[in-house]
Structure 1
Amino acid sequence: MRFEEDLYVDEDPRVVCWKDINSTDEQVELRRLDEWVNWLTGRYHLDYKTIPSCWQQHGSLVEELAALRTMWEGSFQDDAAPSDAIAFHRELDASLRRLREWNSRSGCSRTTHRAQLAE
């Protein structure tokens, strides 16, 4: 199955446990996720207030985007239910609200990354 801008859904959705991933696999998964996030931001015209360019440096954004990508992958499998695509969009709406909130708290802007403070 082929999607826009050379994105493929040709395997089962991949769930990534970021807590347990080793550094090599983490870099591979971040590159894979980055490809999808670039597609998502272009397709849905999302700006830095929702997904800043430094999203990879914010664990909460990585976790949310990875989970959303996994749902997207599952929604467009050959054996997906006809309602899966609309379910994805329902979850996309909720995810975008969370992403905006978390990004708002980060203090990052279009041009400036602000490191998260350790608690």
Structure 2
Amino acid sequence: MNDDDFPLPAITDPYVVCWRDLDPITIAEELDRLKEWVTWATTRYNLDHKVIPPCWPEHGACVEELSALRTVWEHCYQDDSAPTDPVAFHRDLTLAVRRLRDWTSVLGCSRINHRPEQRT
């Protein structure tokens, strides 16, 4: 399996998604866009279900982290980006992977089982 198996749309101008402020239609559109990137990123960086479980769209913290990471990734490949921006992205990716792994562990989700979050 390689990157060609999961083609990624052209890089667009990055923008920050404030999930809290989105209406249901826009949430669905943004989730579709994010799913494309996450599918590519999990293959490219060999991230397994212990980092990003298949049910990640059901977990707000995962959505927020992955959305922020995608925004940084999009930004670092713009024409006006600094040559060091991709290195900064990979530094951020390392930290994000740690957080995602911690959250996935706490959530208790696996490759085949989803555990809904307990709301308090």
Shorter chain as denominator, the TM-score bin is over 0.9
2:8 to 6, 9, 29: 6
Cα contact 2:69–2:93 (8 A) shared by 1: yes
3-state SS of the aligned residue for 1:7?
coil
1:80 and 1:88 mapped to 2: Cα distance?
Answer: 12
Residue in structure 2 matched with residue 111 of structure 1 by the alignment: 112
Q: How many residue pairs are counted as aligned between the two chains?
A: 116
Unaligned runs of 5+ in 1: none
How far does residue 6 in structure 1 lie from its aligned partner after superposition?
A: 3.3
Give the percent of matched residue pairs that are identical in Structure 1 and Structure 2. 52
How far does residue 102 in structure 1 lie from its aligned partner after superposition?
A: 0.4
3-state SS of the aligned residue for 1:6?
coil
CA RMSD of aligned residues (A): 1.2
Q: Which runs of 4+ in 1 moved over 4 A?
A: none
1:31 and 1:15 mapped to 2: Cα distance?
Answer: 15
Listed one character per residue, the Cα deviations across residues 81-118 of structure 1 (whole Å, up to 9, x for unaligned) are 00000000000000000000001000101100000001
Residue in structure 1 matched with residue 99 of structure 2 by the alignment: 98
Listed one character per residue, the Cα deviations across residues 64-97 of structure 1 (whole Å, up to 9, x for unaligned) are 0000000000000011100000000000000000
How far does residue 14 in structure 1 lie from its aligned partner after superposition?
A: 1.6
**What amino acid does structure 1 have at the position aligned with 2:117?**
Q
Residue in structure 2 matched with residue 16 of structure 1 by the alignment: 17
3-state SS of the aligned residue for 1:61?
helix
Describe how 1:1-119 pairs up with structure 2 within 5 A. 5-9=7-11, 11-119=12-120
1:6 and 1:60 mapped to 2: Cα distance?
Answer: 23
TM-score (normalised: structure 2): 0.93
Unaligned runs of 5+ in 2: none
Cα contact 2:8–2:36 (8 A) shared by 1: no
TM-score (normalised: structure 1): 0.94
